[in-house]
Amino acid sequence: MKLNGIQLYLVRNPTRKTATVPPSPQSHAPAKADATSEEPVASASLLETSLAVTKSILSVRRWQITLAKAANEGLVVLQSPKVGFFKRSRTIKGKHSLPACKERQMVKEGQVVCYITQLGGEMPIKADVSGEVIKILLEDGEPVGYKDALITILPSSPKIKMLQ
């Protein structure tokens, strides 16, 4: 089944067995005991199902198109150096500070523009070039993969970047 570019595979009753199970011989036990004995089985079957999140086919193509357009327009795309979660601001002792940068803001080369959080540690991501932040491609808290695009920057002088 395809829905908005996401391909889903549906399975009916993945934990259901094909053979029917005969009723238990303990008919003299109270009803409460039977209810409690069935609860762990039901929760165990829920834990066995996969909750994996997969990237959709269109999202991968969308990133490729975004990177190609950015290169054609002379934009620089900051990419993630590691896997983690995207954060626009730093968290100190549970308190969020102001965002490191905003769209349409001028940034300098080496200035921190965002953070990648991994296992409780925050890694600052610095701008490769000085220029104007055109678009922040991710929302705060979104998962980030290796080499995923984070932010697009229009260099102060695009000709200088093209010569490199």
Those residues whose C-beta lies under 8 Å from the C-beta of residue 160, and which sit 6 or more positions away, are none
Kindly report the pTM of this predicted structure: 0.55
Confidence of residue 46 (pLDDT cuts 50, 70, 90): very low
Q: Which of 57-61, 97-101, 124-128, 153-157 has the lowest mean pLDDT?
A: 57-61
Find the range with the poorest average confidence among 20-24, 77-81, 84-88, 117-121.
20-24
Residue type for position 124: P
Q: How confident is the model at residue 20 (pLDDT cuts 50, 70, 90)?
A: low
For residues 43-67, give the mean pLDDT. Answer: 55
Tokens representing residue 108 in the block: 């300098």
Query: Which pLDDT band, with edges at 50, 70 and 90, does 35 fall under?
Result: very low
Task: Identify the CA nearest to 105 among candidates 160, 154, 162, 157.
Answer: 154
| Predicted local distance difference test score (pLDDT) of residue 96 | 81
Res. 34: pLDDT tops 50: no
Convert 59-97 to b/e letters by CB count within 10 Å (16 or more is b).
Answer: eeeebeebbeebeeeebbbbbbeeebebbbbbeeeeeee
pLDDT tens profile 109-142: 999 999 999 988 899 999 989 999 988 888 888 9
**Selection from 110, 94, 111 nearest residue 102 by Cα:** 111
Structural domains present in the chain = 75-163 (2.40.50.100)
Show the tokens assigned to 39: 């609860």
Of 112, 103, 86, nearest to 154 by C-alpha is 103
